[in-house]
Amino acid sequence: MKIGLISDTHVPWVTKKVPDEVLKAFHGVDLILHAGDIYSHSVLDDLENIAPVLAALGDDDYPGPDKRVCEKHVLNVEGSVLWLLHEGPCVPVPLKWFPMWIKNRLSANEPYVKPNIIIAGHEHRPVIDKSDGIIHINPGSATYNNYKSGLGTIGILDIQPSLSNIQLIHLNTPDRPFMESSF
């Protein structure tokens, strides 16, 4: 399954709409995951013209009656457990604090299933890291990377039963991923 990863779009505060470069880069994905700070739900509508969309509620977002948005999504994709949320662990993750971070992200009645992949935003910088056997992915911001307006970064996560791959892509050079990892 091919999944588009995006975060921190801040529409219409930083830019009026989702950049066309995002829509082109996500052409052919099966699912899009937005890691929060959406601001306007028109972003999700635009992305949904490409593929189904799920989004995490960002710290600057207002909860509302949109079934695509919640605090945390837990997905099982090709045998991998994915968590989608806005604020992930600080990367690189200090292992002594990681179990507490995980525990604090569980709701009262939620059984613990260790994620294979955590997808988060919030930091406005792209990251791929691995701690305690968990892949941490932050696609950066498509519109406000490193808190600077302009084309930023997104991710493409290709999950297969035997080998998966993550590419982080700068929208100025979409044909050349600047960060890539297989697992």
What's residue 115's pLDDT? Answer: 86
Q: What is the mean pLDDT of the segment spanning 114-136?
A: 89
Which range marks the domain in which residue 90 is found? 2-182
**Count of the separate structural domains present in the chain:** 1
The model's confidence at residue 1, banded by pLDDT at 50, 70 and 90, is: very high
Chain-centre distance for alpha carbon 45: 17
What's residue 94's pLDDT? Answer: 56
What's residue 69's pLDDT? Answer: 95
What's residue 76's pLDDT? Answer: 94
Q: Decide if pLDDT at 6 tops 70.
A: yes
Q: For 166-178, write each residue's pLDDT tens digit.
A: 999 999 887 777 7
Q: For 9-37, write each residue's pLDDT tens digit.
A: 999 888 889 999 999 999 999 999 999 99
Higher pLDDT, 96 or 56: 56
- Which of 27-36, 38-47, 129-138 shows the lowest mean pLDDT across its residues? 129-138
Q: How far apart are the first and last CA of the chain?
A: 14
Buried b (16+ CB within 10 A) or exposed e, 13-42: ebbeebbebbeebbeebebbbbbbbbbbbe
Provide the CATH number for the domain around residue 162: 3.60.21.10
Distance CA 108, CA 3 (A): 29
Higher pLDDT, 3 or 95: 3
Q: For 152-166, write each residue's pLDDT tens digit.
A: 999 999 998 878 899
Q: For 62-118, write each residue's pLDDT tens digit.
A: 877 899 999 999 999 999 999 999 987 765 655 556 666 566 666 667 677 788 999
SS3 state of residue 155: strand
What's residue 139's pLDDT? Answer: 97
Distance CA 27, CA 101 (A): 34
